[in-house]
């Protein structure tokens, strides 16, 4: 049984797909050279079965109108199969494709590595939908979970934590995790992920995207770590055009489409950050091991209590860039905050390297104290996770 089905009369593209699969993907490829594709999934999957086939690539050579028609039928009758259209990217075509259920568009000239990443992403997406539609599986306890990463002051590594949390959650829920850069003036999630987005936060809260979740999803950028990303506007002045109500509506839309919504906010408690926190299920509160940062977080937590923002048991305090040589200890910080520290991320040169490189640490490394700390933080959002104990061990610090 084939995991991938390719319909094309282009031999060169077929060979690139075969090399991409043999280069690290599990499963076999079946190629159909007749580009006059059938009208129903039953005809196409005859002899293969829904359970074995995860990804179908339509083209090159398949007429776009035929591909769109078949994708629409698949979306209704076989939603667990990811349909990928192979065509030259075009905004109008992309929008029509998204509306009709096509999961991704692949350039016919794409290299093997790009093809491999897309196929892996499409396969993960198919597997996730299959589990979600399995009648014997309960609905995830954390469906629509909105995680806001906040701090009272800048320079504490909040964006680094937000991007790595999103990457970690992308492993738990591939293609069902979205990262939003809500630092509308000076957000740099796009830099941290090496993205050059065609659409940004401003586009997502105005026009057609505000009315149609499918248009909104078409405006999101896709990262290689199997997450969607909504980047901050390219001009700081555009931040003034995004209201708290816009943020609330955006979160409601995304929470209805994604299992995890991770939001990186601007320092402090501005209108946009407050709007996000009012509708958050979880908050990650970040500070460093210095007196101004800890006192600022204490004041921020007091505001949380006064306004009833995020239940105390859904707040996670993270001490970032921690060092043994700091004059403050974790116990000192907990005494000031009058509550426990959930996670300690040690200062590490590989974090600075990953930031400058524009690749989240968890996306390319699996070793080191910082990696372990970030993985633990991401795993803490699993529905079966349990609170950690013994957070005062000096082993937590580099």
For the stretch 61-91, pLDDT in tens is: 998 888 888 888 887 778 888 899 999 877 7
Residues of the chain below pLDDT 50 = 1, 48-49, 135-142, 391-395, 398
- Per-residue pLDDT, 344: 96
Q: Which tokens go with 331? A: 């116990």
CA distance 199 to 190: 11
* pLDDT attached to residue 26: 77
Q: How far apart are CA 332 and CA 230, in angstroms?
A: 37
pLDDT of residue 136: 41
H helices, E strands: number in the chain: 17, 13
Buried b or exposed e, range 163-181, using 16+ CB within 10 angstroms: bbbbbbbbbbbbbbbbbbb
Indicate the pTM of the whole model: 0.69
At 357 the pLDDT is 86
- Reduced to 3 states (helix: H, G, I; strand: E, B; else coil), residue 14 is helix
Q: Compute the distance between CA of residue 80 and CA of residue 214 in angstroms, rounded to an integer.
A: 18
Task: Taking each helix axis as running N to C, give the angle between helix 349-357 and helix 369-379, from 0 to 180 degrees, rounded to the nearest 10.
Answer: 70
Torsion sign across C-alpha atoms 171, 173, 175, 180: negative
CATH number of the domain at 4-133, please?
A: 3.40.50.2300
> Are 4-133 and 145-396 in the same CATH fold?
yes
SS3 45: coil
26 phi and psi, to 5 degrees? -85, 145
CATH T-level topology, domain 145-396: Rossmann fold (3.40.50)
CB-hemisphere CA count at 13 Å for 118?
25
pLDDT of residue 394: 43
Give the DSSP letter of residue 48.
T
> Which residues are CB-neighbours of 307 under 8 A, at least 6 positions away?
274, 278
Q: What is the pLDDT of residue 131?
A: 59
- How do residues 275-298 score in pLDDT, each as one tens digit? 999 999 999 999 999 999 999 999
Domain ranges across the chain: 4-133, 145-396
Length of the chain: 398
Residue 326 Cα to chain centre, angstroms: 34
The overall longest dimension of the chain from CA atoms, in Å, is 72
Percent of the chain with pLDDT over 70: 90
Please name the residue ranges forming H helices in 45-143. Answer: 64-77, 91-99, 112-133
**Buried b / exposed e across 316-354, counting CB within 10 Å, b at 16+?**
bbbbbbbeeebebebeebbeebeebbbbbbbbbebbeeb
The 3-state DSSP class for residue 112 equals helix
Q: Is the dihedral of CA 214, 218, 220, 221 positive or negative?
A: positive
Looking at residue 398, its pLDDT comes to: 43
């Amino acid at each position: 049984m084939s995991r991938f089905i390719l319909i094309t009369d282009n031999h060169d593209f077929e060979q690139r797909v075969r090399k991409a699969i043999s280069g690290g993907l599990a499963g076999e490829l079946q190629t159909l050279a007749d580009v006059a594709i059938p009208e129903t999934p039953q005809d196409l999957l005859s002899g293969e079965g829904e359970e074995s086939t995860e990804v179908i690539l339509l083209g090159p050579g398949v007429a776009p109108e035929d591909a769109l028609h078949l994708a629409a039928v698949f979306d209704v009758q076989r939603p667990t199969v990811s349909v990928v259209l192979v065509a030259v990217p075009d905004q109008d075509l992309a929008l029509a494709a998204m509306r009709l259920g096509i999961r991704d568009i692949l350039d016919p000239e794409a290299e093997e590595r790009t093809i491999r990443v897309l196929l892996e992403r499409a396969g993960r997406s198919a597997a996730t939908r299959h589990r979600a539609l399995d009648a014997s599986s309960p609905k995830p306890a954390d469906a629509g979970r909105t995680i806001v990463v906040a701090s009272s002051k800048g320079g504490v590594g909040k964006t680094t934590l937000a991007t790595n949390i999103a990457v970690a959650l992308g492993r738990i829920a591939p293609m069902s995790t979205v990262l939003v850069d809500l630092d509308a003036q000076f957000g740099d999630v796009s830099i941290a992920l090496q993205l050059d987005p065609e659409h940004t936060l401003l586009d997502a809260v105005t026009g057609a995207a505000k009315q149609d979740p499918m248009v909104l999803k078409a405006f999101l950028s896709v990262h290689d770590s199997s997450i969607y990303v909504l980047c901050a506007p390219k001009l700081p002045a555009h931040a003034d055009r995004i209201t708290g109500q816009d943020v609330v509506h955006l979160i409601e839309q995304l929470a209805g489409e994604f299992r995890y919504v991770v939001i990186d906010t601007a320092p402090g408690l501005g209108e946009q950050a407050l709007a996000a926190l009012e509708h958050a299920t979880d908050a990650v509160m970040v500070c460093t091991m210095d007196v101004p940062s800890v006192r600022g977080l204490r004041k921020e937590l007091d505001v949380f209590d006064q306004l009833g923002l995020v239940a105390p048991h859904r707040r996670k305090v993270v001490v970032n860039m921690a060092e043994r040589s700091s004059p403050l200890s974790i116990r000192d910080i907990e005494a000031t905050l009058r509550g426990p520290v959930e996670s300690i991320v040690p200062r590490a040169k590989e974090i600075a390297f990953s930031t400058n490189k524009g690749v989240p640490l968890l996306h390319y490394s699996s070793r080191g104290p910082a990696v372990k700390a970030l993985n633990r933080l991401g795993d803490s959002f699993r529905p079966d996770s349990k609170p950690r104990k013994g957070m005062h061990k000096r082993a937590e610090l580099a």
